[in-house]
Amino acid sequence: MSIFQVKEDVYWVGARDWNINSFHGPAYSTKQGTTYNSYLIKDEKNVLVDGVYKPFIDRFFEHIEEVVDFKDIDYYIVNHVEPDHSSSFPRTMERLRDDVTVVCSAKGKEGIIEHYGSGYNFEVVSTGDTINIGERNLAFVDASMLHWPDSMFTYIPEDKLLLPNDAFGMHYCTSQLFDDQVDDCLMMDEAKKYFANILTPFSSILLKKLKEVQEMDIEIDMIAPSHGIIWREDPNKIIQKYLEWAEGKAKEKALVIYETMWDSTELMAKKIADGLIDQGIEVQFYRKSDADKNDIIKEFLDAKAIIVGSPTINNVMIPELTPLLEELEGLRFKNKLGASFGSYGWRGGAAKRIADRLEGAKIELIDEPLEVKYVPDKEQLKECYEFGVSIAEKIKQS
């Protein structure tokens, strides 16, 4: 038996995906795997909350059958239509009674129909709506754009249990799925990576939603998301972290990221980092081809500045930097500083190109791009060091 009780008569019936190493296609590296958390509530009416990614459907069905007969399920709540949770929906519906009620937001209904067709018995809900299932009530909170238009949270006041689907989740697969059972540093690191890479663009919506939920004065003693760890020991810990991350609180910290061909840009990067470090700035230093894009983005979440370097090749930057810069533009981090640098042979251009991309990502440029021809000499290395010092001053002033 690999299901477990989350609360009395509330069961985890999801699936562990130990082997997945990228999510959203190749966009998100999942070095710790992930889980698709689905929950079954046993009451006078039985309720299934969310599904799993289709390749795991047989395991999911086995788990459900360990708790109830499919024909005894009365409600199927779809908090979110993204296929990692809903691609099991059509086959699950084939197993359920014809009159089972599919509970979702208005956009959720649209999403289900657009993905899987119509003909289902929908009950559309929004903030303030409740459904009584016997001993318990299910309450719903609209969570549109956290992170899809259809997203919603389900809350069970009698259990003080929040089921927020993707929110407060992480891609972290473990045999034990509670926060007090796993390595705290790894757990918080994965939660941070998930926030930075998925939720950053929705930070202002998230802040409003967290305040709205706080004003509703609901008691939460467990948060059970749809990926990774269930927060039972201290759910407030992740709520406070979400507030901090969504507010864009930054440390005196900078990321130096570069690519190099014949070491010149690397020499520049090292001197810029020295200038920053000597001024007391925390530095994360990456040669992009040796680093994970999503880890860099995770570290950018609480950094103040990003300094990116590349030699010029065929009048442009080394293309391996492009996915990171493209991602930064999409994620729309707020209140960040940036700068660029690089070496060139007979004609520059890479550092300017990087600066343009940083500006496109709404990152405020601290300085003009710094370029050196061929190999930086002693004077030019000193200039790189001073470039770092000057960036450090801007970080401290901001």
Q: Among all residues, which ones are annotated catalytic?
A: 24, 80, 82, 84, 147, 166, 194, 227
77 vs 318, beta carbon nearer ligand FEO: 77
Residue range at the interface with ligand FEO (CB under 6 A); choices 1-9, 43-51, 77-85, 365-373 = 77-85
The CB-of-289 to ligand FEO minimum distance in angstroms stands at: 29
Who contacts 195 (Cβ-Cβ below 8 Å, separation ≥6)?
241, 242, 245, 301
Residues 328-357 touching ligand FEO, rule: CB under 6 A, are none
227 vs 298, beta carbon nearer ligand FEO: 227
Helix then strand then coil, in percent of the chain rounded to 5, is 40, 25, 40
The CB-of-200 to ligand FEO minimum distance in angstroms stands at: 14
**What single string gives the DSSP state of each residue in 77-133?**
E-S--SHHHHTTHHHHHHHS-TTPEEEE-HHHHHHHHHHH-S---EEE--TT-EEE-
Who contacts 226 (Cβ-Cβ below 8 Å, separation ≥6)?
14, 36, 37, 38, 50, 79, 80, 85, 164, 165, 166, 169
Pair 23, 171: CB distance under 8 Å: yes
Site string for ligand FEO, 23-62 (x = CB under 6 A): ----------------------------------------
28 vs 245, beta carbon nearer ligand FEO: 28
The residue number with the shortest CB distance to ligand FEO is 82
Residue range at the interface with ligand FEO (CB under 6 A); choices 65-73, 82-90, 152-160, 228-236 = 82-90
Which of 34, 38, 36, 35 is closest to 11 using CA atoms? 38
The CB-of-231 to ligand FEO minimum distance in angstroms stands at: 17
Given candidates 200, 226, 260, 284, which one binds ligand FEO under the rule CB under 6 A?
226
Which of 30, 20, 28 is closest to 53 using CA atoms? 20
Site string for ligand FEO, 187-216 (x = CB under 6 A): ------------------------------
Given candidates 50, 74, 84, 327, which one binds ligand FEO under the rule CB under 6 A?
84
The CB-of-370 to ligand FEO minimum distance in angstroms stands at: 40
85 vs 107, beta carbon nearer ligand FEO: 85
The site for ligand FEO, by CB under 6 A, has a size of: 9
Residue 387's SS3 state is helix
Q: Is 107 in the site for ligand FEO (CB under 6 A)?
A: no
**What single string gives the DSSP state of each residue in 301-354?**
TT-SEEEEE---BTTB--GGGHHHHHHHHHHT-SS-EEEEEEEESS---HHHHH
Pair 150, 144: CB distance under 8 Å: yes
Site string for ligand FEO, 125-154 (x = CB under 6 A): ----------------------xx------
The CB-of-147 to ligand FEO minimum distance in angstroms stands at: 6
Residue range at the interface with ligand FEO (CB under 6 A); choices 78-86, 105-113, 199-207, 266-274 = 78-86
DSSP state of 279: T
Interatomic CA distance for residues 225 and 230, integer angstroms: 6
Q: To which residue do tokens 């710790």 refer? A: 32
Q: Is 82 in the site for ligand FEO (CB under 6 A)?
A: yes
Pair 45, 133: CB distance under 8 Å: yes
Q: Is 85 in the site for ligand FEO (CB under 6 A)?
A: yes
Interatomic CA distance for residues 46 and 40, integer angstroms: 7
Q: Is 166 in the site for ligand FEO (CB under 6 A)?
A: yes
Return residues touching ligand FEO (CB under 6 A): 80, 82, 84-85, 147-148, 166, 226-227
